[in-house]
Structure 1
Amino acid sequence: MLLKRATSSNNAAQKTTTKTQLSLSSLFSENPPQISSSNEEKTTVLGPNKFEYYIRHQCKSGKINLYDALSYFEKLIKVKPFPFVDTFNHVLSSVLKLRCNSDVISMYRELNYRGIKPNLCTLNILLTSCCHLRQINFGFCVLGDIIRRGFEPDLVTVDRLLKGLCMEGKALEAVQVFDKINERGFQGDVFTYGILITGLCKIHETNFALKLYRKMAERNCGGTLVIYSMIIDSLCKDRLVDEGVNMFFEMVSKGINPDVVVYSSLISGLCSLGRLKEAVKFFDEMVGRGIAADLVMYNSLIHGYCQVGMWKEAMRIFNRMVEEGIFPDVVTFTTLIDCLCKEGKVGEAHKIFVLMRQQGKEPNLFTYNSLMSGLCMVGQLDEAAKLFGMLADQGVEPNAFSYNIMINGYCKSRKIDEAFQLFQEMHFQGCKPNAVTFNTLIGALCQAGRLRTAEKMYHEMHACGQSPIFSTYVVMLDGLCKNGHIDEAIALFHSLGSTKYKSSIELCSILIDGMCRTGRLEEAMNMFNEIPKKGLVPDVVTYNIMINGLCKKGMLLEADKLLIDMEEKGCLPNSISFNIIIQGCLQENNIHKAMNLLGEMRRRNFAPNEAVTSMLLHLAVEDSQCLAALESLPDALQKDVFSK
C-alpha cells in the first residue's frame, strides 16, 4: 500500500523515469480498472464530514509530512460513501508541495482505480507532477483528459503546462502554445508572461523575451520585480548592459523597487565590460537604499577591478567586505591571487594565499595554477616547483594547464631536460599534452639549436593525435630558418598545401627572412613578388625583411625603391624601416642619403637606434665629411644622435 512506500520515498530518490512513464501510461488507458463491490471496507469511526474537516485543516497548516499525508489518504479511500474529491485534492496538494511527484501519480492511480472522479483541481495537480518529472508529453495527455471530461482548462492549467515546457528548455514551443491559446480568446496574466519570459531568458532568447515583455505591456499587464529581474540579468549576461540599465530605470519609474538581485546583475554586467565607475555608482545607490551588498556583488566588483589590473582598488573592496562581516570565498581569493600575479605582485599574492588557507578556504586548481604562473613569471622557479609538488598532497590533480606552466617555466630558464621530465610525467599520470605543451617544447629546442629533437617532437605531436596549430608552424619554421635549415623550412611550408595556414603573411615573412639570412635573396624576392598572387598583402614586417636583405647585399637603390613602394601601397614604414636603410647607406658610405633619411625620421617622430648612432659617431671620428653633415643637422636631431 501507499503507506508502506512512505519510508522509501523519504529515504531514497523518486521512481525512475521509466517506471514513472509506465505508471503514467496506465492512467490514460481507455478502460481504467474499476473496484468491485465485494471490496467494500468498513467506515472509519469518525464521521466523514468531521474527518474531512480535520484532514483539510492539517493539510492547510503546511506542517504535514509525507507519512502523515499517505496515512490520511489510506483512511480516506476506506470511507463510504467516498469523501468529497476536494478533500483528496488537499492531500494531493500537500504531497505535491513536498515534491513527491511519483507519490502524487500513485495516489491518482488509486483514485482512478476506485472510481473516484477527479475535478479540474485534481487534474491540475496531476499535470503539475508530470511537469516536475520532466514528462511534458504526459502533461499534454492530462490536458486532453481535462477536455474529454468536459472541464474548461483554467489559468492554472495553462500556466502549469507552459512552465513544464520551459522547465524542459522548450520556451519557444511554450510561446507557440500560448499564441495558439491566445487566438482562442485566452488572456494570460502577469504570471503567465512571467513564466514565458523566465523560460526564454534561461535559454538565452533575450530579444524574444523583450518582445514578449513589450507585447505584455501593450495589453496593460504590468511587469513585476521578478520579470524585470530576469530580463535585466539576461541582458547583462548577453553583454547588452545599456539595454539592461534602461530596463532598470523603466522599472524604477513604474514604482518597482529593485532588490539586491537586480543590482547584482547590473553591477556584474558593468564590471565585465570594464565600466567600473558606473558599477560603483549603482553600488553606492544600492547601499543608499538600505540594501546590503552580498558576496556575489563584492566578487563582481573585485573581478572587475582585477580585469583591468587595478589591484589596489580590488584590495580596497576586499578589505571593505571583510570589515562589513562578509567572508570571502575561494572565488574572491583566487581572483585576487590571479590579478596580483599577472601584475608581478607575487609576494602580495602569496600573502593572500596564506590568508586563504588560514581562514579554512581550500585553494582549487585555478588558485594553484595562478600562483605557479606568477612565480615562474618572476623567475622563482623553485618556489613554483614546490607549489606544484603540493598539489598531490592536497588532493588536487594537476591538469594540462598546470604542467604547461611548469614546462614553460623550465624552458624559459633553459632547463629543457627538467621540462622533458615533466612531459614524461604527464604521460605517466594520464594527462594528455595539448598543442601548447608541444609548442613550448619545440620552441625551446629550436632556440637551443636542438633541431633534430624538435623535429621528433613535431612528429610525436602528430602521433599523439594533436593537430599542429598555427603557432606550431610559426615555431618550427622560425627554428629551422634561424638555424640555417632553409631547405627543410621550405619543405615544411610547401607541406601545408592549400591549408589556411599557408595563406599567412606571418609564415611567408618567416620564410623570406630565412632565405635572406642564408643569402638566397633571389628566391626571397621571388616569394615576395608571389605574395599578392596568394591574395595576401605584405605588412611592415615583410617589407622590413626584404629591405634589410637588399641592404645587406648592397642593393640600396632597390631597397630605397621598396621603401617608397610600400608607402604608396598604404603600408607606412616604421622606425625599424628607416634604421635598416640608414644602416645600409652608412655601410656604403652614402652619408648624404643617410642624413636625408635621418631628417625624414625626425619629421615622423622616429629616433635612430643604437646601431645607427654608433655607426654615425664612429664615422664622425674618422670622416670630417660625416662630422660636418652631423653638425648641420637640427639641434633636436643632433641630440638624438649624440645623447646615445
Structure 2
Amino acid sequence: MVASIGYSLSFFLSLLFRGFSTQQSRICFSFAKELNDSIELFHKIKSMWPEPSVRLYNKLMSVTAKIEQYSFALYMFDEMLRMGVSVNVYTMNIAVNCCCLLKDIYSAFSIMGLFFKRGYEPDTVTFNTLIRGLFLDNKEVEAVKLYEKVLDLKLCVPDNVMILHVIDGLCKAGQVIVAHDWLCRLESSGWRPNVWVYSALIDGFCKCGNMDDAFQALFKMVGKGISPNVVAYNSVIKGLCNDGRLSDVEYLFNEMANSKIFLDVVTFNILIDAFCKKGKIEEAKQLFDSMAEMGLKPNIISYNSLIDGYCKKGSMHEALLLLSEMVENGVSPSVVTCNILLDRYCSLGEIVRARELFDAMGKMGIKHSIITYNILINGYCKTGNMDEAWHFFHEILRVGLKHSTVSYSAMMQGLIRQSSFLDGWKLFEDMEAHKVHPNLYTYNILLDGLCRIHRTKEAFTFLRVMEARGVNPNIVTYGVLINGLCKGGRLDEATRLFNHLPSKGLKPNIQIYCMMLNSLYHEGREGEARRLMVEMERSSCAPNGVTFNIIVWNLVKRKKVHEAIPFLEEMCSRGFEVKSESISALLQELRIGEGKDEKLQEILKKVCAQIDK
C-alpha cells in the first residue's frame, strides 16, 4: 500500500512537473509586439512553478527592449531584484542599455555599480553600451574619457563595436577631425579598422560638407584592402547630391559597378530626392521606375520623395495618382506622406481639402504629428481664419503633443499679419514662459511686426536684444529693417544700413534691391536708382520681373514713358510679364496722344503678345 501510494505520488509529481515544464515551453516571445504583450508574458513567467531561470526573464527583458518599451523592461528588472531572482551580467547589460536608450546615463552607471558590489565585473558589452549611451546623451567628452580609461586601465579588450561607437559618436557630434585623429592613432598602434568604422567616418565628413576628405577616406580604405560597401558609397552619393554635384555621382556609379556593388533602395531614394529638389521630376520618375527593373521595391521614402517633388512642381494630379499606386502596391501612407499633401493644399489655399485630409488621417489610424498641426495652423493663418488657427493651436496640448518654436512662430506671424501685434507679442511672452526657445525666424517675425506698426526705433532696440541672446541676424533680418525704414520715409537711414551689409558679411538679395529701387524711384532719386541697378548686375544679382515692374511703374507714374520703353523691351526679351497697372497707364498715354506715338504703339503690341503666350 505504501509502495503503491509512493508510486502514485511520484507519478502525479512527474505529471505536475511535466505540466509546468510544458507551461514554460509555451512561452513564445515572438508574439510580443507591444507593451501589453510584455506585461502579459511577465505575469505568466512570475506565476510559474518551479521558479523559472533568469534566462527566461532576460529573454523577456531583451524582447521588451527591442519593441522600445525600455521603462517596462527596467520595471521588470526592479521586480526581479525584489523577488530575489538570480540576476547575471546579461541582465545587467540589458538594464544598462535600457537606461542609456532613455538617456538616463546616471541610472546606467548606478546599475553597473550595483552589480560590481555583487561581484560581477562589467564586460566589453557593458562598456560598449555605456560609451554609446554617453554619446546618445550628447556627452561626447565623457564618452571619450571612458574609452580612454578602458584603454589605460585595460578594463576590457576593446572590440570593433566599441571603436565604431567612438568614431560614429564623434562624427555625429560634429567632431569629425577628432574622430579621424583617433582612427589614425588606432591604426598606428596596429589595429585594422573594418568597413563599418570607415563608413562612419566617411558619413561624418559628408554630413559636414567635407567631400574632399570623404573621398580621401574612401581611397584610403581601398588602398588598405578594405572594400567599401554600399553604405559607404551611399554616404558619398548623398554628400555629392547635397553639394549639388550630381554629375560626380556618375563616377561613383562606375566605381560601384567595377567593384560589383549593387545599388540598393537607399541609393535610389537619395538620387530621387536629389533630382526632386533640383526640380528634375522627370529624371526622378525614371529612376523610380528603374527600381522595379533591378528587382528593387520602392519603399515609403521613395514614394514620399516623389510625391513631394510633384507637389513642389505644382503637379498635384500626378502626386495623387502616385499615392493611389502606392496604396495598390501595399505601401501604406505615413504621417510624412499626409504632411506633404497637407502642405501643398495649404500652399494652394485649398484649406477645405487640407482639413478633410487632416480628418481622414485619424480615420486611417495615422497619428497627427506636431508638424501636421504646424502646417494646418500656418494654412489657416494665411487665409486669415485666426479662429481655426487658434483652435488647432490649443488642440496641440489636448492631444498630448508639445508646442514647438514653429507652432508659436506660425501663430505669431498670423496675428501680426492680421494687425494684431499686441496679441503676437503676448504669444511671444507665453512662448518664453513655457521655455520654448525662439529662433531667428521668430525674431524676424517680431521685427517685421514692429516695422509694420511704424515702431522702427523699438525694432532696432529689439535687434540688439536678439544679438545679446546670441542670435545672429541674417539677410532677412536686415531686409525687414530696411523695408521698415523705406516705408517709414527714412530712405537715407535705409541706404546707410544697406551700404553696411558687406561689412557684416552679408550680400543683398533681390528682395532688398527691389525695396531700395522702389524707394529711390518713389523719392525721385533716379540717378541713385540707376547706379544701384549697375551695382546689382555687377554683384551677380540678376534683376527679375519684380525689379523691372518696379522701374517701369515708377517711370510711367512720373509720365516718363519713353524712359520706360527700354526696360519694357528688356522685359519682353527676358519673358517677364508686365503688371496690368503699367499696361493700363501706357494705354492711357497712347489714347491721350491719339495713337500717334509709334514707339509706344510698338512696345504695347510686344507686351500684349507676351501676355497672349
TM-score normalized by structure 2? 0.61
Q: Find the residue that maps to 1:257 and give its secondary structure.
A: coil
Structure 1 residue 340: deviation in Å?
2.5
For the 8 Å contact 2:351–2:379, the answer to whether it is kept is yes
Distance 1:608 1:333 in 2: 36
- Between the aligned partners of 2:398 and 2:52, the Cα distance in structure 1 is 53
Could you tell me how far apart the structure 2 residues matched to 1:167 and 1:420 are? 42
Shift, 1:392, TM fit: 2.1
What are the ranges of 5 or more consecutive residues in structure 1 without an aligned counterpart?
Answer: 24-66, 71-91, 104-130, 146-156, 183-187, 481-485, 517-523, 552-558
State yes or no: 1:543 paired with 2:513. Answer: no
Question: 1:88-147: per-residue Cα shift (whole Å, max 9, x none)?
Answer: xxxx9xx97xx45689xxxxxxxxxxxxxxxxxxxxxxxxxxx9998499889999x9xx
Question: Letter of the aligned partner of 1:172 in structure 2?
Answer: V
- Cα distance in 1, alignment partners of residues 422 and 123 from structure 2: 66
RMSD: 5.6
1:514 Cα offset (Å): 3.7
- Residue 286 of structure 2 corresponds to residue 320 of structure 1: no
Q: 1:515 to 1:387 in 2, by over 3 A?
A: same
Counterpart in the other structure of 1:508? 481
Structure 2: distance between partners of 1:603 and 1:377: 31
Secondary structure of the structure 2 residue equivalent to 1:203: helix
Contact 2:300–2:334 (CA<8 Å) still a contact in 1?
yes
Q: Does 1:173 align with 2:145?
A: yes
Contact 2:167 2:201 in 1 (8 A): no
Residue in 2 aligned with 1:335?
305
Tell me if the contact between 2:377 and 2:389 (Cα under 8 Å) persists in the aligned partners.
yes
The 5-angstrom pairing of residues 123-142 of structure 1 reads: 135=112
Deviation at 1:370, TM superposition (A): 0.9
Q: Is the contact between residue 274 and residue 307 of structure 1 (CA under 8 Å) also seen in structure 2?
A: no
- Residue 457 of structure 1, CA deviation: 5.0
- Tell me if 1:300 matches 2:270: yes
Q: Distance between the aligned counterparts of 2:92 and 2:407, measured in 1? A: 51
Question: Partner residue of 1:200?
Answer: 167
Give the Å deviation of 1:387.
1.3
Preserved CA contact (<8 Å) 1:357 1:363: yes
SS at 2:225's partner residue? Answer: coil
Q: 1:293 to 1:618 in 2, by over 3 A?
A: closer
Alpha carbons 1:579, 1:609 under 8 Å: kept: yes
Corresponding residue number in structure 1 for 2:54: 6
Query: Which residue in the other structure is 1:563 paired with?
Result: 529
Residue 520 of structure 1 corresponds to which residue in structure 2? Answer: none
1:499 to 456, 465, 478: 465
Describe the shift of the 1:507–1:225 C-alpha distance in structure 2 as closer, same or farther (beyond 3 A): closer
Separation (CA, whole Å) in 2 of partners of 1:408 and 1:175: 47
User: Could you tell me which residue of structure 2 aligns to residue 350 of structure 1?
Assistant: 320
SS at match of 1:496: helix
CA contact (8 A) 1:404 1:436 kept: yes
| Larger deviation, residues 419-428 vs 249-258 | 419-428
The equivalent residue for 2:445 is 472
1:372-400 residue CA offsets vs partner (Å, 9 max, x unmatched): 12233345443322211022223333234
What is the aligned counterpart of 1:395 among 358, 365, 379? 365
What is the distance in 2 between the residues matched to 1:415 and 1:530? 39
* 1:523-602 alignment runs, 5 A limit: 524-525=490-491, 527-528=493-494, 531=497, 540-551=513-524, 559-560=525-526, 562-563=528-529, 595=563
Q: Does 1:251 align with 2:221?
A: yes
- List runs of 5+ in structure 2 lacking aligned partners: 1-49, 63-72, 95-107, 135-141
- Aligned counterparts of 1:588 and 1:264: Cα–Cα separation in 2: 59
- Count residues with an aligned counterpart: 498
Closer/same/farther in 2, CA of residues 271 and 608 from structure 1, 3 Å limit: closer
Are the structure 2 counterparts of residues 212 and 141 from structure 1 closer, same or farther at C-alpha, using a change threshold of 3 Å? farther
The residue matched to 1:258 in structure 2 has which SS? coil
**Residue 236 of structure 2: which of 258, 261, 266 is its match?**
266
Label 1:291 to 1:479 Cα distance change in 2 as closer, same or farther (>3 A).
same
Change (3 A) 1:619 1:405: same
From the superposition, tell whether residues 289 and 460 of structure 1 become closer, same or farther in structure 2 (CA, over 3 Å). closer
Contact 1:235 1:241 in 2 (8 A): yes
Structure 2 distance, partners of 1:379, 1:142, is: 67
**Alpha-carbon distance between aligned partners in 2 of 1:258 and 1:542, rounded to the nearest angstrom:** 52
Q: Secondary structure at the match of 1:499?
A: helix
Letter in 2 for 1:13: M
Q: Distance in 2 between matches of 1:433 and 1:514?
A: 34
Distance 2:357 2:570 in 1: 53
Q: Which residue of 2 aligns with 1:406?
A: 376
What's the CA shift for 1:621? 5.1
Cα distance in structure 2, aligned partners of 1:276 and 1:283 = 11
- For the residue of structure 2 that corresponds to 1:469, the secondary structure is helix
Alpha-carbon separation, structure 2, partners of 1:138 and 1:232: 38
Residue 296 of structure 1 and its aligned partner are, at CA, apart by 3.4
8 Å contact kept, 1:134–1:168: no
SS at match of 2:226: coil
Greater C-alpha radius of gyration: 1
**Percent pairwise identity:** 20
Paired with 2:211 and 2:201, the residues of 1 have a C-alpha distance of: 11
Native 8 Å contact 1:260 1:291 kept in 2:
yes
Cα deviation for residue 294 of structure 1 reads: 3.8
**For 1:202 and 1:399, how far apart are their aligned partners in 2?**
28
**Is 1:462 matched with 2:429?**
yes
SS in 1 for 2:465: coil
2:92–2:111 contact (8 Å) kept in structure 1: no
Name the structure 2 match of 1:37.
none
- Report 1:356-505 matches (<5 A): 356-413=326-383, 418-419=388-389, 421-423=391-393, 425-426=395-396, 429=399, 436-437=406-407, 440=410, 451=419, 455-463=422-430, 465=433, 469-473=442-446, 476-477=449-450, 480=453, 486=454, 489=455, 493=459, 496=462, 498-500=464-466, 504-505=477-478
Deviation by residue 1:435-468 (Cα, 9 ceiling, x = unmatched)? 6556656666676xx53x5644553453465769
Residues in 2 aligned to 1:560 and 1:259: alpha-carbon distance in whole angstroms: 62
Report the CA distance shift for 1:221/1:462 in structure 2 as closer, same or farther (over 3 A): closer
Q: Secondary structure at the match of 2:366?
A: coil
More displaced stretch, 417-426 vs 331-340: 417-426
* Structure-1 separation of matches of 2:549 and 2:263: 57
